[in-house]
Structure 1
Amino acid sequence: MSKIIVIGANHAGTACINTILGGGKENKVTVYESNSNLSFLGCGMALWIGNQISNGDGLFYCDKETFEKNGAEVHMEANITKIDFKNKKVYGKEKDGSEIEDTYDKLVLATGSLPIIPKIPGTDLENVQRVKIYQNAKEVIEKLKNPEIKKVTVIGAGYIGVELAEAFVRNGREVNLIDIAPTVLSNYYDEEFSETMKENMEKNGVNMVLGESVVEILGDKKVKAVKTDKGEYASDMVIMAIGFRPNNELGKDELKLFRNGAYIVDKHQRTSEKDVYAIGDCATIYDNTIDDTNYIALATNAVRSGLVAAFNILGQDIESAGVQGSNGICIFDYKMVSTGMSLKRAQKLGIDADCVDFEDLQKPEFIETENPKVKIRIVFDKKTRAVLGAQMASYYDMSMGIHMFSLAIYKKVTIDELKLLDIFFLPHFNKPYNYITMAALSAK
């Protein structure tokens, strides 16, 4: 029998724990979770704040009782503060203040990530909010019951910032979205796509404050305004959505770390320390687009990494197949999805890359019902012709198409092979000369 300790039980931890417990009763599984809840779907917070769902109860998909029913020992609101890797021991404190000293045969670090808070004056003012965990979202929603909170400023125009900006507009607030970058979602899309999202947000009432750096949050106890290097923006609430950093507090001096501080793991999710695994946002992941280790913090990646670690702990020699960083977003009904590399990123990495763009209706012109245009970009290597990435945008839900491109990148399919790909036609779904085929045929 192996004694397995898992520290952290959100997406990665939950997937790992459930898989180990489902693999038989011969292992003893002990879980230490610092929060009062687990398995929280943080991606649903914007829907909750924006009144698109009535409450946050459905954002949990597992609980302490389920783990215990399946044989785990679960310690909630328990903080592990130290790990002795040599002697395989963990130390910490329970909720009641009692000391924790426990031993393990296998250890899984699923400590997640922490919000990045800039070192500027005013971040400690009242109504300067973080939105990371369930309690954060609940606090924001409670405060929004106050009609005096009319102007909300979101700092950071990545995925979370963009989603929250939409949510506050839907909640009836005036919204500023500030970012130092000249456009939104700049880590995932080329400018030709991110600009369309920017225009979509402006059209729906978000005041876009781009290309400006926040230097101070102003106020007297309560926030009153956000000051940038170019102006001031009145604010009754400020949301810090700059991004997240890996939570590596446990073992950061003993384990090998990635350039951003994440635990470096191999394809089995093993760290540099024997019998210690790391999964989810605290760890690296294998990136097929660069054929190397990378850091891509997505819930889907967290779940996959939890499964891989669990199967290896159970004695099955399973490697991660790697990821392409597939992602998507829907803001004011405008959908954008991408996978792999943008052209900008490929060129930055020194790859001799090119792209092909195409735009067309989803369905034939004679269709009289909803029939929006779809914009697509395929990025490919000019020498090998291999597909490196894809981006798609539309008011139509074309999101399933990006999964094909994810597989294409993984299997090193060329842009030329896409030209005669067997894509069926039916007017209810698409055009006979569909935009994927036409984009591939347009490639130089």
Structure 2
Amino acid sequence: MSKRIVIIGGGDAGTYTLEAIMKRKEDVAITLLKKDRYGSVSICGLPFALQGIYPLKDIELQEPEFFQSRGIDYRTLTEVTEINLEANSVTIQTGEELEYDYLVIATGSRPFIPSIPGVELEGVYTVKDMEDGERIEVAMNDPGVKNAVVIGAGTIALQVAVAFSKNNIKTTVTKPRPLILRSMLDPDIASKVQKKLEELEIRFILGKETVAIKGDGDVKSVLIGDTEVPADIVVACAGMRPNVDLAKEAGIEIGESGGIATDPFLHVKKGRGYIDNVYAAGDCVEVIDAITHRPRLSMLASTCVTQAKVISDNIFGDNSSFDPVLSPTVANIAGLQVGSVGITSETAKRYGMKVITGKKEKPTKPRYYPGRKSMLMKLLFDAYSERLVGAQIISEDQVADRIDELSIAIRSGMRARELRMMEKSFDPSVALHRDVMADAAEDALNV
């Protein structure tokens, strides 16, 4: 008899888990249930579609029919209203009950919408799914839209701000805290990104509360502190929260970070024990940080990919476990590539960790080679062991490979002295013979 597997959610975690199970070519009956009408969608690609780099429709990577034609019971516009752990079943909005042998909870996250008067006005949007993208695209292409306000200053918020700026919409970015990209970069690095965006005439009002969104039916302005900013469109992009209501109602334990608590095999917990046939993955799940060893969230597609493999392996008896995370992160913001892995100085301070830092900015190619770019790298080391615990990079050149390299360095326990002496490849067309990473490590040792 085939194994009945039900997946709740069709975002990255649900889709990657579905694909990992399909690759096994085992005798299974898979049902995937998702609320919206689209198939597999890359939401991270949405801001670049709004910037005009490619059509918005291109971020739907696979339509529902792709999975349905392969024997998957792939249901869109379907909401799960209840999980019954005792009966091994879920109930959908029509009242139909679906039994399972294995359940995967991949309910994702939802936008944090600040409690601001006027947030319900027409012209106020979030950035959570394809339909949000469609609405924003229509609004920003309206010739009457001249001013925009983005509430939030994370990567998606800044990329949306760039989209508005490219569309000749006067744009203001605001948040209550005084720093942008706070979870990713130290202030001295983040300030370089802000300067780049200010050169595009994107205005920043930081460290002030958004008091109200004003308008009569349609949004007209936003009151930030005591400054009233004209706005024809507002995007609330102030972060995401784990979507755990369904799990919580079923009695599944929620961790201190707000995500679903799991064991290393990604089994969910109810009461004192973990449930062998119920898993959770993605934005809705609490993970353990590899540096601080404390619970946290890791809302990254790369995290979902690994979790999907773990769940698929365990369903078929291969006993995989999910390791603590480093959450390597990269983003392209107005042509400036930003990367981070491990902890920031703020995180170190929060957990009482003493760190030494080294920083260096230099070209990525020799001075005689045309088209060279600058790269700024900051490395954080534990002050006692000198082990690498964090890294931050900004450059117009390739950053992702560097962040992945530094992720491996952290995992392997490399120290500042080892990075300073590390052999690096050299060709004037692609690299310097004296690398920025070695210089940043040496700077930390001098401290």
Instruction: Give the TM interval when normalised to the shorter protein.
Output: over 0.9
Deviation at 1:47, TM superposition (A): 1.1
Deviation at 1:199, TM superposition (A): 0.6
In 2, Cα distance between the equivalents of 1:141 and 1:398?
29
Q: Judging changes above 3 Å, is the alpha-carbon distance between structure 1 residues 203 and 317 closer, same or farther for their aligned structure 2 residues?
A: same
Q: Size of the alignment, in residue pairs?
A: 438
Aligned twin of 1:61 = 61
Aligned twin of 2:293 = 291
Aligned twin of 1:88 = 88
Aligned twin of 1:121 = 117
In 2, Cα distance between the equivalents of 1:44 and 1:24?
30
Q: Judging changes above 3 Å, is the alpha-carbon distance between structure 1 residues 261 and 442 closer, same or farther for their aligned structure 2 residues?
A: closer
Identity of aligned residues (%): 26
Aligned twin of 2:313 = 311
1:99 aligns with 2:95: yes
In 2, Cα distance between the equivalents of 1:111 and 1:399?
28
Query: Match for 2:413: what amino acid?
Result: K
Residue 21 of structure 1 contacts residue 71 of structure 1 at CA under 8 Å; is this kept in 2?
no
Query: Match for 1:213: what amino acid?
Result: E
In 1, Cα distance between the equivalents of 2:30 and 2:65?
14
In 2, Cα distance between the equivalents of 1:39 and 1:285?
24
Residues 198-252 of structure 1: per-residue CA shift (max 9 Å, x gap): 1111111101111111111111101011112231111001001011111112121
Deviation at 1:152, TM superposition (A): 0.6
Aligned twin of 1:131 = 127
Aligned twin of 2:352 = 350
In 2, Cα distance between the equivalents of 1:150 and 1:251?
43
1:258 aligns with 2:234: no
Aligned 1:314-325 pairs, distance under 5 A? 314-325=316-327
Residue 25 of structure 1 contacts residue 71 of structure 1 at CA under 8 Å; is this kept in 2?
no
Q: Judging changes above 3 Å, is the alpha-carbon distance between structure 1 residues 293 and 266 closer, same or farther for their aligned structure 2 residues?
A: farther
1:200 aligns with 2:202: no
What do you get for the CA RMSD once the two structures are aligned?
A: 1.4
Residues 1-52 of structure 1: per-residue CA shift (max 9 Å, x gap): 3211101111111111111122124221111111111221111111111112
Aligned 1:272-291 pairs, distance under 5 A? 272-273=269-270, 274=275, 275-291=277-293
In 2, Cα distance between the equivalents of 1:381 and 1:17?
40
Residue 21 of structure 1 contacts residue 72 of structure 1 at CA under 8 Å; is this kept in 2?
no
1:439 aligns with 2:440: yes
State which drifts further: 103-112 or 269-278.
Answer: 269-278
In 1, Cα distance between the equivalents of 2:293 and 2:407?
14
Residue 82 of structure 2 contacts residue 246 of structure 2 at CA under 8 Å; is this kept in 1?
yes
Residue 21 of structure 2 contacts residue 312 of structure 2 at CA under 8 Å; is this kept in 1?
yes
Residues 281-318 of structure 1: per-residue CA shift (max 9 Å, x gap): 11122321223432111121122212211221121111
Residue 359 of structure 2 contacts residue 378 of structure 2 at CA under 8 Å; is this kept in 1?
yes
Aligned twin of 2:165 = 169
In 2, Cα distance between the equivalents of 1:259 and 1:398?
33
Q: 1:156 aligns with which of 130, 152, 159?
A: 152
Aligned twin of 1:27 = 28
Residue 30 of structure 1 contacts residue 73 of structure 1 at CA under 8 Å; is this kept in 2?
yes
Residue 245 of structure 1 contacts residue 260 of structure 1 at CA under 8 Å; is this kept in 2?
no
1:47 aligns with 2:48: yes
Aligned twin of 1:378 = 379
In 2, Cα distance between the equivalents of 1:304 and 1:71?
24
In 1, Cα distance between the equivalents of 2:386 and 2:30?
48
Deviation at 1:69, TM superposition (A): 2.9
Aligned twin of 2:343 = 341
Deviation at 1:347, TM superposition (A): 2.1
Q: Please report the TM-score for the alignment, with normalisation by the length of structure 1.
A: 0.96
In 2, Cα distance between the equivalents of 1:18 and 1:103?
21
In 1, Cα distance between the equivalents of 2:66 and 2:287?
28
Q: Judging changes above 3 Å, is the alpha-carbon distance between structure 1 residues 66 and 322 closer, same or farther for their aligned structure 2 residues?
A: farther
Deviation at 1:323, TM superposition (A): 2.3
1:404 aligns with 2:405: yes
Which consecutive residues of structure 1, in runs of 5 or more, have no partner in the other structure? Answer: none
1:423 aligns with 2:424: yes
Query: Match for 1:321: what amino acid?
Result: D
> Is the partner of 2:160 in helix, strand or coil?
helix
Aligned twin of 2:265 = 268
Which consecutive residues of structure 2, in runs of 5 or more, have no partner in the other structure? Answer: none
Deviation at 1:378, TM superposition (A): 0.6
Query: Match for 2:83: what amino acid?
Result: I
Query: Match for 1:336: what amino acid?
Result: V
In 1, Cα distance between the equivalents of 2:360 and 2:56?
40
Query: Match for 2:253: what amino acid?
Result: K
Q: 2:206 aligns with which of 200, 206, 210?
A: 210
Residue 214 of structure 1 contacts residue 226 of structure 1 at CA under 8 Å; is this kept in 2?
yes
Residues 238-267 of structure 1: per-residue CA shift (max 9 Å, x gap): 001011111112121411112242101222
Residues 372-408 of structure 1: per-residue CA shift (max 9 Å, x gap): 2211111000111110010111122233111111111
In 2, Cα distance between the equivalents of 1:295 and 1:285?
6
> Is the partner of 2:62 in helix, strand or coil?
coil
Residue 343 of structure 1 contacts residue 354 of structure 1 at CA under 8 Å; is this kept in 2?
no
Q: Please report the TM-score for the alignment, with normalisation by the length of structure 2.
A: 0.95
Residue 103 of structure 2 contacts residue 278 of structure 2 at CA under 8 Å; is this kept in 1?
yes
In 1, Cα distance between the equivalents of 2:10 and 2:334?
32
In 2, Cα distance between the equivalents of 1:233 and 1:125?
16
In 2, Cα distance between the equivalents of 1:230 and 1:314?
59
> Is the partner of 1:442 in helix, strand or coil?
helix
Aligned twin of 1:9 = 10
In 2, Cα distance between the equivalents of 1:64 and 1:203?
42
